[in-house]
Amino acid sequence: MSSSNKITIKEVAKRAGVSIATVSRYLNNPTSLKEENRRKVEKVTREVNYQPLLYARRLAGGKLNTFGVIIPGYEDIFYSFYALEIIRGVGMALDKEDLDLHLHIFNGKDTFKTSLVDGAIFADIIGNETQLQRLLKEEFPLVVINHKIENPNISCVSINNFKGSYEATEFLSHHGHKHIAHLAGDLRVQCAQDRLEGYKAALKKNKIEIKDEYVKVTNFSRKDARDKLEELFALKVRPTAILCCSDEIASEVLAFGEEKKINIPKDLSVIGFDDNPHCLYGNLMLTTIRQPIMKMASLGVEILRDSLKNKLPPKKIVLETELIVRDTVNFL
């Protein structure tokens, strides 16, 4: 066996006829072993080219000074404002603590190695519930961000997406809009579900009919948004306002309006979600819902750090959004 990643420390111990703890001691401090055991382990590790120093430090109770960030993979992830802000926010928080970042993108297979890090930050849970359960079962230190977790044994930091969407929709209603559409995100994602529910709750509270034809799922894709906009503006009664699941989607609405000679905000009001600075350029400054992504990321690091140092009980934190009024809403 030529590759060290094809054999475990358990197998080394078995081949050498010693305990796993003995192998771990050998890898960290060979002189602490009896000569006979040291030679046995040395012989096997040389035969199989086994040099897993990270594993050894983990088993010895040492710290790696590294936190893992697990991000569910999706198309164009490295063009995503959310993903890049999470990575930036966690990275900056770790740098202040003199800790390193290990980035893991989940693409359907659970290949995350806990031996490489001291703890894990899940940047949302999308299709990787079993991965979360595995780490929980192993009692591995972790925190979940951007997803409210009901399990009392898991710390989480989430954003009040429901309230943000509710306030934006009510803002439109209070300024005379009765035909409000929603370009929703991927409804497998908790934040997209919450934003849709907030939109519906505000319509119901303001006695505005919830119309299925006004709700279009975009999966956070500008291409999907373009297709859904064509459908919305083919309706007999067009919307006078659109609440978007992200600023990227809102930017597509602005581009659509310019191409179709739809005056924004006179003929169509638009609200985004994120407060993405890249969506502030141009003739119109986007009205949006600001969500504290950087704060959420830094709190995730803080909670994980404190739980490792002091074995603190799990925390549940919900951060509030803020409606930022700019140029893209018309008061009817």
Domain boundaries defined on the chain: 4-59, 66-160+294-320, 161-291
Return the structure tokens found at 191: 């934040």
pLDDT of residue 80: 85
pLDDT of residue 2: 41
User: What is the spatial distance between Cα 263 and Cα 267, in angstroms, rounded to a whole number?
Assistant: 5
pLDDT in tens, the chain (332 residues): 444 446 778 888 899 999 888 887 776 666 667 889 888 988 988 888 775 655 555 555 567 889 999 999 877 777 889 999 999 999 999 999 999 999 999 998 898 988 889 999 999 999 999 999 999 998 999 999 999 999 999 999 999 999 999 999 999 999 999 999 999 999 999 999 999 999 999 999 999 999 999 999 998 889 999 999 999 999 999 999 999 999 999 999 999 999 999 999 999 999 999 999 988 767 889 999 999 999 999 999 999 999 998 878 899 999 999 999 999 999 87
* CATH topology agreement for domains 66-160+294-320 and 161-291: yes
Distances (CA, A) of 316 to 225, 274, 303: 34, 22, 10
Residue 113's SS3 state is coil
Q: Top-level CATH class of 161-291?
A: alpha beta
pLDDT of residue 3: 43
Distances (CA, A) of 66 to 52, 252, 276: 16, 39, 29
Taking the alpha carbons of 112, 113, 116, 118 in that order, is the dihedral positive or negative?
positive
Give the rounded distance of the alpha carbon of 310 from its chain centre.
25
What pTM did the predictor assign? Answer: 0.81
Return the structure tokens found at 257: 């309006």
pLDDT of residue 1: 42
Helix (H) or strand (E) run with residue 273 in it: strand 269-274
Helix (H) or strand (E) run with residue 287 in it: strand 287-290
Helix (H) or strand (E) run with residue 48 in it: helix 35-48
Q: Which fold has domain 4-59?
A: 434 Repressor (Amino-terminal Domain) (1.10.260)
Q: Top-level CATH class of 66-160+294-320?
A: alpha beta
Distant-in-sequence, close-in-space partners of 276: CB < 8 Å, separation ≥ 6: 81, 246, 247, 248, 288
pLDDT of residue 278: 85
